[in-house]
Amino acid sequence: MTSNPFPVVDIHTHMYPPEYVKILENRSDIPLIRRFAGAKDPRYIILPAEAESLDKAGEDGAPLPGRPVTSHYSSLQQKIHFMDTHRIDISVISLANPWLDFVATSEAASTAVSVNEEFESMCASQPGRLYFFATLPLTAPQGELLSAIDFVKGLKHCRGVILGTSGLGKGLDDPELIPVFKALAKNGLTIFLHPHYGLPSEVWGPRATAEYGHVLPLALGFPLETTIAVARMYLAGVFDEVPDLRMLLAHSGGTLPFLAGRIESCIVHDGHLVREGKVGSGRRTVWQVLKEQIYLDAVIYSEVGLKAAIDASGVDRLMFGTDHPFFPPLTSDEQGEWESMTWNKTAVEKALGEGSEGTKAVMGGNAVKILRLSED
């Protein structure tokens, strides 16, 4: 519980708890964690776009695939150190991608219980400083999936669930997901929607893996994946069918704030939708859904994108985040300051004014209200 009137809250901050790391260490397909000769830390190979670099690892001159797994990934002490270094009062932690998307049906529910209990106990050990978004066993049979929602609802520090864009395998416009969305809405659990799959590797071209690092899949693939997932939900009528559903979109909604106008125009000018009566006067526009059912994080690194997010959803719907432990500083001490904090904080201050009411709201006030962080 916080009594600080202006806390700094990080709502986009991940952990890979030790039990989850063990699962990844025992895998031979992506996602996996593997040690390579001569490398200090094990490497985490996670993105579909990294398959080629994993195949080539070990060849003469080939770069190490993936990213180093440092203590920042799974040490609670390190998370608290990061928070203290950056004056973050509260973090709402979540398992990072790809969550349990790859876990076998028979093991999904029990794995989710153990991961969520691990998160609950990490939060309980740091009173007032940690809350979490739980992980759902999406590959489990539907009954077990719905029971998992009941289970996490009962965990004291759980404030929602983190979800990827694949849903049950067919995306988030899958009608089979409606009972899941309804159960989450009924229990007041916000969905933190986060990308993982990006776009098919071919779109990055033949030079990407060798020459462009992870830039294209992370900078463009991730945000477009989120944009597409939410646009599909909107077109399928999910937001109307589950009006109490609340979603927090990673990376300021991908490109949704920028493209909402174009999506609207394409809807209004689509003969098929018009003929089907889907463009009638009672239709809620994308802009309305953004202001009524969507929250956006402020992980966009520049005031230009942030201003679009604020215009689209409203200053009362944006929440600060860092994406720790991703994007560590490469040329300064990892135990010191990270640009993910300073760039995102500066963007908020430039967009809204240093010390302004808006800045205080985005930096923490909104998260306290929306995610009930003043409740024990």
Residues that bind ligand 5CU (CB under 6 A): 46-47, 67, 96-97, 214, 218, 323, 326
Q: Between 97 and 359, name the residue whose CB sits nearer to ligand 5CU.
A: 97
Only one residue has tokens 């989850």, namely: 20
Smallest distance, Å, CB 203 to ligand 5CU?
A: 17
Q: By C-beta, is 217 or 358 nearer to ligand 5CU?
A: 217
Q: Cβ atoms within 10 A of the Cβ of 213, count?
A: 12
From CA 26, how far away is CA 42, in angstroms rounded? 13
Comparison of 137 and 321: residue with beta carbon closer to ligand 5CU: 321
Q: How far is the CB of 81 from ligand 5CU (least distance, A)?
A: 20
Secondary structure percentages of the chain, helix, strand, coil, to 5: 45, 15, 40
Most distant CA atoms of the chain, gap in Å: 64
Question: What are the E-state strand segments in the chain?
Answer: 9-15, 32-34, 43-45, 67-68, 90-95, 130-135, 158-163, 190-193, 247-249, 294-297, 318-319
3-state secondary structure 156-193: CCEEEEEECCCECCCECCCHHHHHHHHHHHHCCCEEEE
Least Cβ distance, residue 210 to ligand 5CU (angstroms): 18
DSSP string over 4-33: -SS--EEEEEEE--HHHHHHHHT-SSSSEE
CB of residue 66 to ligand 5CU, shortest distance in Å: 8
Q: How far is the CB of 299 from ligand 5CU (least distance, A)?
A: 9
> Which CB atom, from 293 or from 340, has the smaller least distance to ligand 5CU?
340
Residue 1 beta carbon to ligand 5CU: minimum distance, rounded to whole angstroms: 28
Specify the residue, 131 or 326, whose C-beta has the smaller distance to ligand 5CU.
Answer: 326
* Position closest to ligand 5CU via CB: 326
Judged by beta carbon, residue 32 or residue 368, the one nearer ligand 5CU is 32
